A and B are shown apart, each in its own frame.
Chain A
Amino acid sequence: MSRNSEESTKCRVSFVVNESPVTVLVHPMERLLDVLRHELGLTGTKEGCGEGECGSCSVLMDGQLVNSCLVPVLQAEGSAIITIEGLAVDGRLCALQKAFLECGGAQCGICTPGMLLAAQHLLSKKPHPSLDEIREGLSGNLCRCTGYMQIFDAVAQAASGEFPT
């Protein structure tokens, strides 16, 4: 395929990432994950499985938790997306990030961005979740290092308001 014909199959997609509006020229069926990582340089969002099983690529799209490996970028048109890069404000960690550090919620760190966004999503729906609600709320995000217990501690601690943002 020549470069020109390749360009012509691309289209402009506009959305808001971490409160900044962006417009990208991309193939409409490209994965949101790849656009975030390659076009926008937001490499904090990770790929683990490419089939929506592990949750490493989780981002918030209009407040909903989505696997960005399963979202064609066209579907992001007009939406507001939050990635891991959008959690800390002016270099100040949010309550969940602090709690993950304190409680040992991050080990190798590869699931951590997705796990933090899943936790953020959970707390936005249920500010004071029970342990069972935490388990359920994070069950779409796989972690192979921690065995989850310290992640549960971190979410509970963040929810307790011990680390105000």
Chain B
Amino acid sequence: MGNARIVGTSVPRFEGRAKVTGEALYVDDMVLPGMLYGATVRSRIPRGKILKIAFSSELDWSEFVIVSPEDIPGKNCIALLEDDQPCLADGAVNHPEEPILLLAHPNRYMLPKAISAVSVQYEPQPGVFTIEESERKTEIIWGTDNIFKSYLIEKGEVDEFWEQADFIVEGEYSTGAQEQLYIENNGMIATFDRQQGLTVWGSLQCPFYVHKALMKLCNLPAERVRVVQMETGGAFGGKEDYPSMIAGHAALLAMKSGKPVKIIYDRVEDMVATTKRHPSRTRHRTAVSKDGRILGGEIEFTIDGGAYKTLSPVVLSRGAIHAGGPYFWPHVRIRAKAVATSAPPQGAFRGFGAPQSLFALERHMDRIARVVGLSPVEIRKLNFLKPGQTTTTGQVVREEIDLEKLLDRGLELSDYYAKKQKFQDGNAENNYKRGMGIATVLHGAGFTGSGERYLASVVAVEVCADGGVRVLVSSTEFGQGTKTVLCQIVAEVLGVRYEDVGIAQADTHEVPNSGPTVASRTVMVVGKLVQSAAIGIKQTLVASGMLVDSYSPGEFRAACRAYVAEHGALRSVARYEQPEDIVWDEEKYRGSAYAAFAWAVYIAEVAVDPTTYNVSVEDFVALQEVGKVLHPVLATGQIVGGVAQAIGFALYEKVVWEKGRMQNGQMTNYIIPTSADLPSIRVYFEELGNEHGAYGAKGIGELPMDGPAPAIINAVEDALGVSFDSIPLLPEEIYDVMHEKLKRDELRSVSGAE
């Protein structure tokens, strides 16, 4: 590693020039001859039977292509984990905005008119709109019990430690839905012809998820379905599963009309109809010794999955496994479940369940500290996981992580103690109430448990006729820098210039399936495979005698050209094989959940305006151990961007629900942080390395979503002396709680008690 030339430096972003000149092509920038525009007629009620669909006589419907469930050549479903979500509602709807019918027309401006000229008559049925309503089972809306999935994680003697407890600390915490709000709305273009089959181009994260869904929906063999990712304007998990739905819709319209069809959502449709972060509720009951050690606990983690199963079991799994955080639990029982409600299915969003359960835990740690009479720093230090100890799933921590040291460094960088003292001394007199909050978290990189083994990702590196090399993966770029980092890795292995390495567009006809671009797995897992494939190229060239062990980039290029001239092609393929020390028991949910964890300390300084109850984050320190940082500028960008989204999650971003439908599906009234709202976000790395990742890298993208929200709410408690356990925490919620407190204090002084 000491001699790395390219890895660890901030080379120019691979597609950066195209992005700063406006030349980068997103799906809405693409026009095909004779193209129609498609739109979706959606459910206006949460749940009910469809009795009749009527078309107003005001429009000439012969100009439109109309697709209903009868037009589906294959199975009416979006294939993912289970086939329970229909592509078009057939006879009944289960959530507001559920797709019912598809329309296409050559003139895009005709579509809004046409949508409102279709009227659907329903026989409404009662909906279920909260976790509690779903649990009551008065209405069964999914399966036999409204439960998509449940897990039980048990470690130690889960019922026997309560008697030894000096304190039993309980708490209930909740998090709201959060919209991904990528700035590029969802969109797809599809074409179909009998010879070539179906091709779709779109804004998406996972080409092979779309491919699988289209095969089943359109009843086509693999080779007759082609999925191409266009430049994608942000995703954050929001383009993991729903693009399969839109691709399906565009495909059905294209198959029926024989013409290319483009579907581009407008902002409202994108916000009200597509997935968001799962709302959650977490209950903690923890046994603690008088000196502050966690003896054991029970954690109940519940997420609201919306109307169909989609990705909820996987989100639940990650949330449950992260629920114990970076602490040692000698005994613990974690019960997790995902329940159904009559809302559009919730989905993937950066962190994928972990931000929810870690919000609860990191608030709960501060509560435990208060009960025991220790500081938030002391309670964490006492309970941090140490190398050799086991996580809640029994995974032995093999990394040489020293969380106490990491926390101390974070405290120093944020000037924690001095500020905390200053605020404590000054808050009574000062107008603004200030506070400091910390959160310490971990995030597992890659698919959970045996997930990577089942994925069995494949990558290739090939030599081009001109002597350049090219990476072939289905891993997609949507801002993180996928293309840049994978090219860096290959250039490093092969000893060539970064500029000599290319990467193919993610096109299922061109690239092998390197798995979905999710779960902080790309640099670590796919990067490692790309590294192996590149080593294969070098070995083949050396074995052929065309390359000597030590060579210049020019000699490498010449050897590549010579090899291709003689043999026609040179391609090196690498397939994932699970390391032997990673063993996972899917039944009992025990074992090595992740090949590596990233670790972080997040420290927030807040100021609360006691008149408006506006909370502003004044300073933010993000310190993390993420293995080797392969590209400092990109890595820093990932952390800052994640922290910014998490500040929104904590303080601004509230989805207002009414009978399962988002009421504020606009940027005007769903508020994300602007450049004027954010503090200076200061990013620091520790680099321990990681044997399982390319050049020692770990996953990085999701980690910064996990810690900031609890750090901020902990700081608000520090400032106001009042506890808040639910996010987003808007000024009106603070007002309600402060107002109640004021009334209680007044009553107490009037009655003269104490």
- The residues of A with any CB-CB pair to B shorter than 8 Å are 37, 42-51, 53-54, 56, 83-85, 87-88, 93, 97, 100-104, 106-113, 116, 134-136, 138-152
A108 vs B185: C-alpha distance when bound (angstroms): 13
Contact check, A112 vs B20: say whether CB atoms are below 8 A apart.
yes
Scoring A108, A110, A141 by chain B CB atoms within 10 A of each residue's CB, the highest score goes to: A108
Contact across chains for A97 and B233 when beta carbons are under 8 A apart: no
Selected from A37, A87, A113, A135, the residue in CB contact (under 8 A) with B675 is A135
Classify the interface of chain A: helix, strand, loop or mixed.
Answer: loop
Report whether B675 and A101 are in contact in the complex, using a CB–CB cutoff of 8 Å: no
Q: A83-B22, A142-B183, A144-B645 are in contact. Are A106 and B678 (CB under 8 A)?
A: no
Q: Are B681 and A143 in contact (CB under 8 A)?
A: no
A46-B26, A106-B13 known; A139+B675 contact, CB < 8 A: yes
What CA separation (Å) do A147 and B701 show in the bound complex? 13
A106 to B481, CA, bound (A): 10
Please report the C-alpha to C-alpha distance between residue A53 and residue B20 in the assembled complex, in whole angstroms.
Answer: 21
Q: Enumerate B421-442 residues with CB–CB distance to A below 8 Å.
A: none
**Within 8 Å CB of A46, what residues of B?**
26, 28, 183-184, 233
Partner-contacting stretch, out of B146-154, B245-253, B319-327, B629-637: B629-637
Say yes or no: A93-B21 contact (C-beta < 8 A), given A110-B234, A145-B234, A148-B678.
yes
B182 proximity list for chain A (CB < 8 A):
108, 110, 144
- In the complex, A125 Cα to B26 Cα: how many Å? 31
Q: Which residues of B contact A146 (CB under 8 A)?
A: 637, 640-641, 644
- The docked-state distance in angstroms from the alpha carbon of A54 to that of B234 is 14
A144 to B236, CA, bound (A): 9
> B675 touching A51 by the CB < 8 A rule?
no
Residue of B with least CB distance to A101: B16
Say how far A110's CB is from chain B's closest CB, in angstroms.
3
Taking A43-B22, A108-B182 as contacts, is the C-beta distance between A135 and B676 under 8 angstroms? yes
Nearest A residue to B234, CB-CB: A108
Question: Can you list 22 pairs linking A and B with CB atoms under 8 Å apart?
Answer: A43-B29, A47-B28, A49-B666, A54-B183, A54-B667, A104-B13, A106-B13, A106-B16, A107-B479, A108-B184, A108-B235, A109-B15, A110-B182, A112-B19, A142-B183, A143-B183, A144-B180, A144-B182, A144-B183, A144-B641, A147-B637, A149-B640
Contact of A48 among B183, B232, B481, B643 (CB under 8 A): B183
Q: Which of B180, B231, B233, B644 contacts A147 (CB 8 A)?
A: B644
Looking across the interface, which residue of chain B has its beta carbon closest to that of A148?
B675
B621, chain A: closest CB distance, angstroms: 13
**How far, in whole Å, are A109 and B267 apart by their CA atoms in the complex?**
18
- Given the complex, which residues of B lie within 8 Å of A142, measured CB to CB? 183, 667, 672, 674
Q: Is B668 positioned at the interface, with any CB of A under 8 Å from its CB? A: yes
- Which residues of chain B have C-beta atoms less than 8 A from A88's C-beta? 21
| Cβ contacts under 8 Å, B231 to chain A | 109
How many angstroms between the C-alpha atoms of A156 and B675 in the bound complex? 14
Q: Is the CB of A48 within 8 A of B184?
A: yes
Q: Among residues 250 to 291 in chain B, which have CB atoms less than 8 Å away from a CB atom of chain A?
A: 266-267
Please tell me if B535 contacts chain A, counting CB pairs below 8 Å: no
B24–A101 contact, CB under 8 A? no
Task: List the 7 closest pairs (A to B, CB-CB), nearest first.
Answer: A44-B22, A110-B233, A109-B19, A147-B644, A108-B479, A84-B22, A107-B479
Question: Are B21 and A87 in contact (CB-based, < 8 A)?
Answer: yes
A48 touches B267 (CB 8 A): yes
Residues in B whose Cβ lies below 8 Å from that of A102: 12
